């Protein structure tokens, strides 16, 4: 009975200490100064370093950070957090608490291998602003920041693989469509498109998206050829969807801007010139995705990063 009472008193005392510690607002992450080369960046990756000005009062508690609507950390004055992002455009948000309706947003663009610095400071009660700062200015602030974020997600490492062209299929426009036409009812060789749809549906390739590109020859006006090439690409894409091909299908028209051959002479639409230019009239269907060796390499890199973080 005595042991039981002691256990209860011990738990109550421990709870009181925990509550008192939390109420002081002195939540701290790991005590470590930011180092520039502490994070290894792989292909298509960049890094953000986000810090909170040590001079801010901090009465409002911690700030919550989200990158592309995913939690990346929480900061008190004098703390910082690092996070990887994929090259390109991202959106950084800062709010006073998780789920807050009021937040400040910064749209940013990062290049591969780049490190960007962002400073957070208070502009009012429970309101914060954020700005991008130069490297030399950030170093001054970070020199006083001994603690990293006390809350940090396991979001890293990010997956920044970029799809590559796995395969392309050429469809002759003359065999595919009636002359100078581009509608679904104008398709001549439906069997060729049926075979293509079956190939996509049963492909062992890791396809991320399909891209359909229309091309014309140089006969006719530039605006007309551009429109015809776009219409034919759109019609092929629609046909593939009707045959059960799901996912993203991009369409593009290039008109006569990307010929396969350019040795045909003449400008009048004679039978000889039309026949000579035939290879340029085509629809290309591209398979974009991820090669197996690229996936394996990425997994090896990710595992290496995780192993280093555990040492």
pLDDT-derived band of residue 6, with 50, 70 and 90 as boundaries?
very low
- Give the pLDDT score at 15: 38
- Give the pLDDT score at 9: 43
- Give the pLDDT score at 310: 43
Q: pLDDT for 88-111, tens place per residue?
A: 888 888 887 655 566 788 889 999
- Give the pLDDT score at 7: 47
126: left (phi over 0), alpha (psi -120 to 50) or beta: left
Q: Reduce the secondary structure of the chain to three states and give it as a string.
A: CHHHHHHHHHHHHHHHHHHHHHHCCCCCCCECCCCCCCCCCCCCEEEEEEEECCCCCCCCCCEEEEECCEEEEEECCCEEEEEEEECEEEEEEEECCCCCCCEEEEEEEECCCCEEEEEEEEEECCEEEEEEECHHHHHHHHCCCCEECCECCCCCCCCCCCCEEEEEEEEEHHHHECCCCCCHHHECCHHHHHHHHHHHHCCCCEEEEEEEEEECCCCCCHHHHHHHHHHHHHHHHHHHHHCCCCCCEEEEECCCCCCCCCCCCCCCCCHHHHHHCHHHCEEEEEEEEECHHHHHHHHHHHHHHHHHHHC
- Give the pLDDT score at 248: 85
Task: Please give the residue that has the higher pLDDT: either 110 or 153.
Answer: 110
Task: Please give the residue that has the higher pLDDT: either 33 or 275.
Answer: 275
pLDDT-derived band of residue 1, with 50, 70 and 90 as boundaries?
very low
- Give the pLDDT score at 298: 41
- Give the pLDDT score at 296: 45
Give whichever of 74-78, 83-87, 278-282 has the largest mean pLDDT: 278-282
> Mean pLDDT across the chain, nearest whole number?
79
In this prediction, residues 198-206 reach a mean pLDDT of 92
Q: Which domains does the chain have, with CATH numbers?
A: 27-148 (2.60.40), 164-293 (3.30.1330.60)
Lowest average pLDDT, out of 13-22, 76-85, 205-214, goes to 13-22
- Give the pLDDT score at 150: 65
- Give the pLDDT score at 139: 85
Lowest average pLDDT, out of 20-29, 106-115, 217-226, goes to 20-29
């Amino acid at each position: 009975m005595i042991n039981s009472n002691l256990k209860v008193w011990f738990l109550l005392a421990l709870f009181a200490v925990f509550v008192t510690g939390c109420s002081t607002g002195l939540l701290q992450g790991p005590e470590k100064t930011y180092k520039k080369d502490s994070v290894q960046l792989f292909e298509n990756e960049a890094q953000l370093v986000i810090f909170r000005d040590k001079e801010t009062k901090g009465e409002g508690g911690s700030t919550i950070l989200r990158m592309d609507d995913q939690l990346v950390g929480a900061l008190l004055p004098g703390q910082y957090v690092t996070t990887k992002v994929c090259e390109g455009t991202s959106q950084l948000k800062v709010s006073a608490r998780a789920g807050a309706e009021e937040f400040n947003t910064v749209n940013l663009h990062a290049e591969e291998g780049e490190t960007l610095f962002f400073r957070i400071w208070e502009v009012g009660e429970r309101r914060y602003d954020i700005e991008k700062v130069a490297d030399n200015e950030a170093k001054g602030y970070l020199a006083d920041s001994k603690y990293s974020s006390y809350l940090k997600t396991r979001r890293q490492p990010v997956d920044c693989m970029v799809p590559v062209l796995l395969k392309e299929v050429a469809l002759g426009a003359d065999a595919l469509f009636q002359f100078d036409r581009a509608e679904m009812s104008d398709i001549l060789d439906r069997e060729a498109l049926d075979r293509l749809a079956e190939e996509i549906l049963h492909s062992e390739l890791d396809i991320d998206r399909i891209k359909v590109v229309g091309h014309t020859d140089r006969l006719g006006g530039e605006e007309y050829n551009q429109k015809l090439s776009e219409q034919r690409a759109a019609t092929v894409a629609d046909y593939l969807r009707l045959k059960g091909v799901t996912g993203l299908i991009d369409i593009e028209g290039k008109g006569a801007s990307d010929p396969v051959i350019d040795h045909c002479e003449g400008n009048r639409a004679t039978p000889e010139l039309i026949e000579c230019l035939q290879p340029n009239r085509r629809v290309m269907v591209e398979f974009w995705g991820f090669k197996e060796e690229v996936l394996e390499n990425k997994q090896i890199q990710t595992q290496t990063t995780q192993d280093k973080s555990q040492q």
